[in-house]
């Protein structure tokens, strides 16, 4: 319960954001942007200083999110975003910040 069934065009984007991206509100920025685009998934800090974003939705919205992540919030300094694409699984009911 609480999971969404993926549509036929649902994709999953996994983005690993590198740079000065922790301690600058990046997770809140990513959640706000992803939610505004109607995406579902999560964002979390990784132990190595990167931020991981996993989002599911239509390709157009996911590409918009990827472009936004490459810029980041004004306090961040994004050096690189590594993106991996796959099929959406409908595993998320909203977009959340994970610890």
Catalytic residue numbers read 27, 45
| Contact present, 1 and 74 (Cβ < 8 Å) | no
**3-state helix, strand and coil shares in percent for the chain, rounded to the nearest 5:** 25, 40, 35
* Residue 84 DSSP one-character state: E
* Residue 78 DSSP one-character state: E
> Number of C-alpha atoms within 13 angstroms, CB side, residue 2?
4
* Residue 25 DSSP one-character state: S
């Amino acid at each position: 319960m609480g999971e969404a069934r993926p549509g036929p065009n649902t994709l999953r984007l996994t983005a690993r954001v590198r740079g000065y991206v922790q301690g600058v509100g990046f997770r809140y920025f990513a959640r706000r942007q992803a939610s505004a685009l109607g995406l579902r998934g999560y964002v979390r800090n990784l132990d190595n200083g990167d931020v991981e974003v996993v989002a599911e939705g239509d390709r157009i919205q996911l590409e918009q999110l990827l472009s936004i992540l490459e810029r980041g919030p004004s306090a961040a300094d994004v050096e690189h975003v590594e993106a991996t694409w796959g099929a959406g699984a409908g595993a998320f009911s909203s977009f959340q910040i994970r610890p």
